[in-house]
Amino acid sequence: MKYAIHNMKQKDWQQVRTIYMEGIGTGNAAFESDIPGWGKWDSAHLQEHRLLVKERDIILAWAALKPVSNS
């Protein structure tokens, strides 16, 4: 298998959201209890720190950073 790391784009949100829902469902991968819409998620996460691991067009994993303070 060949994996590639890409920057996340809005078009990737549906697949990322599915993975996010699985993490929330298990209680092991998120502090959230609900999945936000793209706009809310987008505004809360740093643009330059959103990564995907893909095999072809399938997203296998993702990571994104968000600030912990405004200072």
Domain ranges within the chain, ordered by starting residue: 4-64
Contact by Cβ (8 Å): 5, 63: no
| pLDDT score, position 31 | 74
Below-50 pLDDT ranges, the chain: none
Query: What pLDDT does 25 receive?
Result: 85
On average, the pLDDT of the chain sits at: 90
Residue 59 near residue 51 (C-beta atoms within 8 A): no
Q: What is the pLDDT of residue 55?
A: 95
Are residues 50 and 58 in contact, defined by beta-carbon separation less than 8 angstroms?
no
Which pLDDT score, from 0 to 100, does residue 41 have? Answer: 92
